[in-house]
Copies of this chain bind each other. A is one copy, B any other.
């Protein structure tokens, strides 16, 4: 083929590294992209582990120093899938090196970092993307289309939850995600950020919010290392949990809608319960990530006799992204949301268009995260 080749360098090889690698490996198999994506280099600090990841995930090369990846003239895209405390430094260096920068969410650990990152990519004029992958679930993109088509009319409400339960056990160790200096925040940046992005994507900008952060368990056993993985084992020493277990807020959107958002790691029984409901004068939609191929839609123009929520299987050729995979009702999974995201990103890059979501979205998201934190401290409404 005469397609342009795009070399990707990925920093990070844990959960997100695995998901991003799968996306690069699969994207050209399901999408007819304008470019050829090549998995050039993966990077991590532990040589044995990153070498193994390179082999497992299908990367041609590996590195242990991200600076070398950024400096490598062969590489076109730097993808950052590290813990949050490294995002800013890598992203800014990558932008300055003229690379496109793809970054996990939230882009920074603080609003200030996010601002510097946005400034850097804008100054450098490089493409940039942020991995708010749930926008790219077919059912969510269908919700967006229904809203854009006016099917929901004037929007009154959004209620969103992102509920998990993986740290309910007080003996669960103090892993990096529970340490502010590494993770930046707890549920706020990790999962509240996702539903905030869905709010911005589907309803537009927030106008004001009133938030509450809470930590149920304030001390945990320090994490021990097993097979190079920190946190796989608890030790007997205790340390302070410095992030939130719960982040929730009420909101007013600029379009006049009201919102209620709740993110928690203490919702026992809920594993990945990223659910939202939006009510408008024309209809309503409901999405739940645990059944991510489905969208419920209430059409308020339907006659009373047959009114109700319709369970749409967003797996049809007519639905966003779905036609690239399998026939109707042959479902896709979590991994495909990343494939869809990078498909869009490479396509827009090739066409010189803004990628969505990008660092502007990442920065705007972080403004809300920051406001939730300040609101919780001051116990007051914050205007955005």
Contact = CB atoms under 8 A, between A and B. Distances in A.
Given A15-B327, A269-B284, A290-B329, A318 B297 contact: no
A80 to B, nearest CB: 20
A292 B267 CA distance: 22
A305 B142 contact: yes
B258 A300 contact: no
A313 interface: yes
A2 interface: no
Main secondary structure of the interface of A (DSSP, over half): mixed
A214 B250 CA distance: 12
B318 A216 contact: no
A351 to B, nearest CB: 21
Given A29-B57, A327-B15, A267 B333 contact: no
Contacts of A21: 29
Given A156-B168, A157-B246, A305-B316, 11 more contacts: A19-B326, A260-B260, A266-B279, A268-B284, A269-B309, A273-B329, A290-B331, A302-B310, A326-B333, A333-B333, A380-B380
A270 B336 CA distance: 24
Interface of A: 1, 15, 19, 21-22, 25-26, 28-29, 55-58, 142, 145-146, 156-157, 159, 161, 163, 165-166, 168, 210, 212, 214, 216, 246, 248-250, 256, 258, 260, 262, 264, 266-273, 277, 279-284, 289-293, 297-300, 302, 304-313, 315-316, 318-319, 325-336, 379-381
Q: How many copies does the complex hold?
A: 4
A306 B297 contact: yes
B325 A335 contact: yes
B250 A212 contact: yes
Given A309-B269, A312-B306, A325 B318 contact: no
